[in-house]
Amino acid sequence: MQKANGKLLKKIAAVALAVVIMAMPFLSVFFTGIFLPPQYGQTYYAELAKMYARLKGAQGKKVVVIGNSNVAFGVDSALMEELLLEAGLDYTVCNFGLYGSLGTKMMLDLSADCIGEGDIVIFSPEIAAQPLSLYFSAEEAWYALDADLSMYYAFPDEVRGTLAGAFFSYTSKKYLQYKSGSPAEASGVYALSSFDEHCDLKNYSRPYNIMPGGADANNPVNFDTSLFGDGFADYVNEYYLKIQKKARRCISLFPL
């Protein structure tokens, strides 16, 4: 009986050791990705963590402007708050548009649970095929999450699965960046430092970034529904249905 128990314990120990050995590479990647200091913290991507923190932590009623780089470059939250206050309306304006490469869906997913009672949501995606689709780049998303990995848990389950699949690639690039001794560098206006405390892109001088006549002649308003990717309109409608139970109003606008 003792011999049988001894053999069983040896088998269990062997299996446990095999499991540990097999898991070692995955654990190594996981802990490397988690515990290495952020390597994209000064880039344009890093602003997403500040935008999300401001949106999530805002007290009272909010005006939430969701979009892409058109919102990042075009919204003046401080001015909007000032004008609303002059009209007797006390709202925190949250700029929640950043980068087309992150995808519009990502901004909708992250903002959904942050919408509170009485909030006003303004949805203003860029009029182009990619922003008007369910495009999502997990690798680009990790660059943005690098500044605050807890944002991972704000995504729906299926998106977290996609992100998990891209974690190895992200960690590999993050490690190489760390080994080089120099975090990823910002490029011109595309930098964390370009944004102010309201998450508006106002800290970088853009004297030539002015559209003649106040509009972009190369990107006119287009009513062609063929620009909409498969499932995009349904996804936006589902988002509206989810938040309208709390939000005071949901508005769709052409790009700002």
pLDDT of res. 204: 87
3-class DSSP state of 46? helix
pLDDT of res. 82: 97
Which parts of the chain sit beneath pLDDT 70? 1-33, 35, 254-256
d(CA 34, CA 147): 11
- Residue from 186, 163, 178, 218 nearest 45 by CA: 186
pLDDT of res. 26: 46
Q: Where are the domains of the chain?
A: 38-208+218-252
d(CA 114, CA 127): 25
DSSP element (H, E) containing 124: strand 120-124
pLDDT of res. 7: 58
d(CA 12, CA 19): 11
CB 189 within 8 A of CB 204: yes
- Residue from 131, 146, 92, 134 nearest 109 by CA: 134
pLDDT of res. 233: 93
pLDDT of res. 31: 55
116 in the Ramachandran plot: left (φ > 0), alpha (ψ -120 to 50) or beta? beta
pLDDT of res. 23: 44
pLDDT of res. 187: 84
Tokens of 249: 């109003």
Extract long-range pairs of 35-39: CB within 8 Å, 24+ residues apart.
36/171, 36/174, 36/175, 36/178, 37/178, 38/146, 38/147, 38/183, 39/146, 39/174, 39/177, 39/178, 39/183, 39/184
CB 83 within 8 A of CB 70: no
